[in-house]
């Protein structure tokens, strides 16, 4: 029986529909959540990401601003910009789109963002809050992974979860979130011995390695839930024909488009082995922007807790 597809687009739409009344209530109380996106230069991928984020803000009724310093911007100039945004009361969330130009000290810029406005969840204060299980702003992609599991009815407590990848952006926070939900968590990385054997013991397997189609059937326990965080655009026909050999419709799509997106998990073998999985595209990706919107609303509430009427949290 083919694996169940966990549709990230449907879950995203549910989250956004739940956020709208929360945003309306905040607006009635005199607070319209605001997001500032800092986009340096003209990287095509970054421009698409920021445009999608701004469009999501508009569709929900959030205030948003896109600030576009030139490629030549210095670290000092970006620090001054972040300081200005930190001091603006109408801005609840600050997003500095990566990558930044080589002459910019990205770490200094990210650390300069007020932790209360750090909607990416990268600031050490928010990382510490996540470790301690305290209220804070959680990185968007790991938060989206948890929403997919919960809203799809996938049991977490007592289950064995294996996270492939230890990045600060996905792997580590995803492992912490799963641990807080009472999963038994193993984090794997480039030095893990017998990687496939460790992965194959997971009830929940999170693949965040950044290596296209690396996670083959031998990594997947029969019936496991597989969350594929990776996304790579393949343009080499030999590679496409190897990865999608069992999916002729995908090869035909490649011939029409000239490229195909693939995740870290082998797209044909996951269907045969898993009980449920997130596709690429259409799985984890849509949740990242939804959780950014959620974090912006959450930041607005946390910053103004004493002046706003109580309201239940929609998503964490």
> How many residues are given for the chain?
316
- 311 pLDDT band (50/70/90 cuts)? low
Catalytic residue among 53, 117, 172, 250: 53
Is 250 one of the annotated active-site residues of the chain? Answer: no
Annotated catalytic residue 24: no
Q: Using 50, 70 and 90 to split pLDDT, how confident is the model at 308?
A: low
**What is d(CA 269, CA 215) in angstroms, rounded to the nearest whole number?**
9
Q: Beta strand 232-234 with 260-262: parallel, antiparallel or unpaired? A: antiparallel
Which domains does the chain carry?
26-116 (3.40.50.10860), 140-286 (3.40.50.720)
Could you tell me which of 137, 140, 94 has the C-alpha nearest to residue 114? 94
Does the pLDDT at position 7 exceed 80? yes
Evaluate whether 173 touches 138 at the Cβ level (below 8 Å): yes
272-303 burial, b at 16+ Cβ within 10 Å, e below that, comes to ebbbbbbbbebbbbbbbbbbbbbbbbbbbbbb
Neighbours of 27 (CB within 10 A): 14
pLDDT at 151: 98
Predicted confidence band of residue 42 (pLDDT cuts 50, 70, 90):
confident
Residue tagged active-site, from 97, 114, 172, 250: 97
Condensed to tens digits (0 to 9), the pLDDT of residues 145-183 reads 999 999 999 999 999 999 999 999 999 999 999 999 999
- Which member of 92, 114, 120, 228 is catalytic? 120
97 is catalytic: yes
pLDDT higher than threshold 90 for residue 315: no
- Band of residue 316 on the pLDDT scale cut at 50, 70, 90: very low
Please report which confidence band the pLDDT of residue 205 belongs to, taking 50, 70 and 90 as the band edges.
Answer: very high
Q: What are the tokens at 137?
A: 């702003």
pTM of the complete model: 0.93
Categorize the per-residue pLDDT at 43 as very low, low, confident or very high, splitting at 50, 70 and 90.
Answer: confident
pLDDT in tens, 222-276: 999 999 999 999 999 999 999 999 999 999 999 999 999 999 999 999 999 999 9
CB within 8 Å of 44: residues ≥ 6 apart: none
According to DSSP, residue 114 is labeled -
pLDDT tens digits for range 169-178: 999 999 999 9
**DSSP secondary structure letter of residue 203:** S
């Amino acid at each position: 029986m083919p694996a169940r597809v966990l549709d990230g687009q449907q879950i995203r739409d549910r989250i956004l529909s739940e956020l709208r009344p929360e945003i309306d209530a905040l607006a009635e109380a005199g607070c319209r959540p605001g997001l500032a996106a800092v986009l340096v230069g003209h990287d095509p991928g970054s421009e698409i990401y920021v445009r999608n984020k701004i469009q999501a803000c508009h569709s929900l009724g959030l205030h948003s601003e896109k600030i576009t310093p030139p490629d030549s911007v210095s670290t000092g100039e970006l620090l001054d910009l972040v300081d200005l945004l930190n001091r603006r009361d109408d801005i609840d969330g600050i997003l500095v789109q990566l990558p930044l130009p080589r002459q910019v000290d990205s770490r200094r810029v990210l650390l300069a963002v007020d932790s209360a406005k750090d909607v990416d969840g990268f600031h050490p204060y928010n990382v510490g809050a996540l470790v301690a299980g305290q209220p804070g702003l959680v990185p968007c992609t790991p938060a989206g992974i948890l929403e997919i599991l919960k809203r799809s009815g996938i049991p977490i407590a007592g289950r064995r979860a294996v996270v492939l990848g230890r990045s600060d952006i996905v792997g580590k926070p995803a492992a912490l979130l799963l641990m807080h939900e009472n999963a038994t968590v193993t984090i794997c990385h480039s030095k893990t011995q017998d990687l496939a054997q460790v992965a194959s013991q997971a009830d929940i397997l999170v693949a965040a390695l950044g290596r296209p189609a690396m996670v083959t059937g031998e990594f997947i326990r029969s019936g496991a839930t597989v969350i594929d965080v990776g996304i790579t655009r393949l343009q080499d026909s030999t590679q496409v024909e190897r990865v999608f050999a069992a999916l002729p419709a995908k090869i035909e799509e490649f011939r029409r488009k000239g490229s195909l997106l693939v995740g870290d998990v082998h797209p044909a073998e996951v269907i045969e082995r898993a009980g449920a999985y997130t596709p690429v595209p259409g799985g984890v990706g849509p949740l990242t922007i939804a959780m950014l919107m959620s974090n912006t609303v959450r930041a607005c509430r946390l910053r103004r807790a004493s002046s706003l009427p109580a309201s239940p949290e929609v998503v964490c």
